[in-house]
A and B are shown apart, each in its own frame.
Chain A
């Protein structure tokens, strides 16, 4: 009976965490994939890890930070798995636009998304967390388990690399 109650409390806590954090997690993971279905799969994967590891979480830090950290690790694993596919995609994009000086704005955004996907996983994460999610570097450092300075360096390198990739592809920054 006691066990049943414990299980019910556990499930209630878990469901609360999902409802409170699913939006942020989904939005973050959606940036790394091209379809809603893929983002949904990664979101589910993240929360199943949350469920499994919930007994180890002591609620001494913010649950959202902890969940973000799990989402980030899920994203990094996904990015590593998809590395080859992304490489092929960039080659295609390069082939289409290498001779053009200006390209339509929507296409530029699409290429920007692809260019982001060419960055190292940690650089992608830091860009997503800072530029999309607008988290502070202190929060990012906590999520990524690194120093604030390391997060800033990653961010700085990420934007520099993005600018280089866009130049290489031939996309003018004025069209963005």
Chain B
């Protein structure tokens, strides 16, 4: 039985003529007496010879056609590689530019947001702050002192002269600096001057 296993392992090499003379003798002797190993040898021999008969040949002129196709493929690959080699730096530069522009725009947007957030600040709209800031601005623009009388006269004059330098909202804001009686006087004065 042990010999059968050894012979079975050697049979494929026996049929392909790859055994030593000793192994050849061993197999030849064994198959004389072992029917199953003998049958196995027949089967393997048939398969081996069927495979050997299956010859395939490349078609005529295949080699030269193959060389042409390979060279064309290699050239095309080379062109693709060259395009890619140029495209990568261009693409990288484009990406960097886009990145810089994005960062710049983001910074601008952030600054704008901060400004708006600052305007929301309660302190900025505090009456006192607004009044002081506006009076100071107005005094600067109109080149007048902080005297209420002079202030009122000038403001009224500007309103009546339809000066573009003092818009109506500024005028309204100016009125906020007066108490009720002052405002009434102011309006009266305004009417008198208008008439």
Tell me the A residues contacting B by CB distance below 8 Å. 11, 14-15, 18-19, 22-23, 26-27, 30-31, 36, 40, 43-44, 47-48, 51, 108-109, 112-113, 116, 127, 130-132, 134, 137, 152, 155-156, 158-160, 162-163, 166, 173-174, 176
Contact = CB atoms under 8 A, between A and B. Distances in A.
B51 A132 contact: yes
Nearest to B45: A173
24 contacts: A15-B67, A18-B63, A18-B70, A22-B66, A26-B62, A27-B55, A27-B57, A36-B59, A44-B66, A44-B73, A51-B74, A112-B47, A127-B51, A132-B51, A132-B52, A155-B16, A156-B9, A156-B11, A162-B47, A163-B43, A163-B47, A173-B43, A173-B47, A176-B50
A37 B38 CA distance: 41
B44 interface: yes
Interface residues of B, number: 36
Interface in B95-141: none
Interface string B40-75: 101110111111101111110011101101110110
Interface string B68-95: 0111011000000000000000000000
Nearest to A18: B67
Given A18-B63, A130-B16, 20 more contacts: A18-B66, A23-B63, A30-B58, A36-B59, A40-B66, A43-B66, A44-B70, A48-B74, A109-B54, A113-B54, A131-B16, A131-B48, A132-B52, A132-B55, A156-B12, A159-B44, A159-B47, A160-B44, A162-B47, A163-B47
